Amino acid sequence: MFSIRKAAAMGAIAAVALGATACGARDTSGGTDSSSTAAGSDKQVSIGIAMPQKTSQNWVEAEKLFIQKCEEINANCDIQFANGGVSEQQNQIGAMITKGVDVLLIGAIDGSQLGSQLDQARAAGIKIVAYDRLLTNTKNIDYYIAYDNFHVGELQGQALLDGLGKEKGSGPYKIEVFGGSPDDSNSLKFFNGAMSVLQPKIDDGTLVVGSGQSEYSQAATQGWDPKNAQTRMDSLLASTYPGTEAPDGVLSPNDTLARAILTSIGDKRERPVVTGQDSEDESVTLVAKGEQYSTIFKDTRYLVEQSVKLAEQLAKGEEPNLGDVKLDDKQYESMEGNPVKSYLLSPVIVTKDNAAEVYKDDELRAKLVADATK
Ligand code: BGC
């Protein structure tokens, strides 16, 4: 069974973020799907932005926003996505180091696999910032900036409980739990955050994990790939929910997987309460219609803005100051005994009840809600 103690022992004492077209000039240093702002001798600051695969809409949005922000501050940014996997990301970071960037902003595919690149960067005096996903197994990290991932999980767990109470009468409730990709250091934090809320309710009998698969290793979804989540949900239905039965609720760590789970459930079974994350367009519509119970809003505009500001300050040798964003140096460790200075932004839970309010300053999402509720 899951236990908080075990989570802590696994290094998760944390309580703490498809193809877009770049508008900057193409980078010629290689790597698939690369883009960069035009290099120029008048550029003051040089930032290497190494991002993972675009496994969800937030990464697609981040690319466009990075290009905009870098242009705004007249920084020379090399923005690379590693759609080919870990070794491609290692090569991209290596090239950025060779180029002599001032700062590396890294959204890792697998934060534990960049040790030698980070050693080199440190030796070259490059500042290292982990973006959205923590870098692990290293001391070579200056800052971490992300939405508070453990809190994302807590909000998801609470949403599942609230949704069950609202939509499925009185308990006990049958649920299933899904996790993200095991190579992404966020996944365990999301799962542990959610289980910190759900486990006491499993222990007191309010919730029953129908399949019995409540361990992170059983629930994880390799590569954040929706096909894997759909296949697992198919087999959970086949093994545990005969005929038109369905679980009352499903913990899903993000929207892409939530939609795959809903597809697997289909329309012959009663729809469960399903959580999500990212406020992806399709899920915003489903949430507004009440078909996906919840999502999370982690405004990528704000995360990118603050990240570029932090990178600029570090590149200029200034003491970072992100105004209202609190700096925490206790919740996250990149390895045992190495706490990381972390700027943690606040995620917001979204259900059909508050969607219009949460997205009121996000024109596109506000329109999706308005259209869905016409
Ligand atoms: C991000 C999530 C996203 C997932 C899959 C995580 O690291 O924090 O927002 O859903 O990656 O792309």
For a mutational test of ligand 1's pocket, the pick from 16, 145, 184, i.e. the residue with the most ligand atoms closer than 8 A to its C-beta, is 184
Cα–Cα dist 29/169, whole Å: 58
- Which atom of ligand 1 is closest in space to residue 53's alpha carbon? 12
Cis peptide before 172 (omega within 30 of 0): yes
Nearest-atom index, ligand 1, CA of 254: 10
How far apart CA 70 and CA 64 sit, in angstroms, is 10
Percent of the chain with pLDDT over 90: 87
**Cα 104 versus chain centre, distance:** 19
Cβ-Cβ contacts under 8 Å for 361 (sequence gap 6 or more): none
Give the CA angle between residues 96, 97, 100 to the nearest 5°.
Answer: 90
DSSP 199: H
Kindly indicate the confidence band of residue 99, based on its pLDDT and cuts at 50, 70 and 90: very high
Cα of 26 to ligand 1 centre, how many Å?
Answer: 26
| Distance from Cα 195 to the centre of ligand 1, integer Å | 18
Cα dihedral 312, 316, 318, 322 in deg (nearest 10): -10
Structure tokens at 288: 């507004």
Ligand 1 center from residue 207 Cα (angstroms): 26
Res. 20: pLDDT tops 50: no
Q: Kindly give the distance from the C-alpha atom of residue 155 to the centroid of ligand 1, in angstroms, as a whole number.
A: 15
CA distance linking residue 164 with residue 207, whole number of Å? 10
User: What is the mean pLDDT of the segment spanning 229-246?
Assistant: 97
Q: Choose among 97, 75, 118, 62: nearest CA to 298.
A: 62
Distance 105 CA to ligand 1 centre (A): 16
**Which atom of ligand 1 is least distant from the CA of 52?**
12
Percentage of residues in the chain with pLDDT exceeding 70?
89
Q: What is the pLDDT of residues 115-173, one digit of tens each?
A: 999 999 999 999 999 999 999 999 999 999 999 999 999 999 999 999 999 999 998 99
- Which residues line the pocket of ligand 1, CB cutoff 6 A? 17, 55-56, 58, 132-133, 180, 184, 186, 224, 254, 277-278
The rounded Å distance from CA 182 to ligand 1 centre is 12
Check: CB of residue 114 under 8 Å from CB of residue 135.
yes
The protein residue with its alpha carbon nearest to ligand 1, atom 8, reads: 17
Across 39-48, 179-188, 213-222, least confident range: 39-48
Angular region, 171: left φ>0, alpha ψ -120 to 50, beta rest: beta
Query: From the alpha carbon of 184, which atom of ligand 1 is closest?
Result: 7
Please enumerate in sequence order all residues whose Cβ is within 8 A of that of 295, keeping only pairs 6 or more positions apart, or say none: 255, 258, 275, 276, 277, 278, 279, 280, 283, 284, 287, 350
Judge whether residue 84 has pLDDT over 90: yes
Q: What is the pLDDT of residue 13?
A: 30
pLDDT score of 29: 35
pLDDT band at 326 (very low <50, low <70, confident <90, very high): confident
Q: What is the pLDDT of residue 44?
A: 79
Spacing, Cα 54 to ligand 1 middle (Å) = 9
Question: Ligand 1 pocket: which of 53, 56, 147, 150 to mutate (most atoms <8 Å of CB)?
Answer: 56
d(CA 29, CA 159): 45
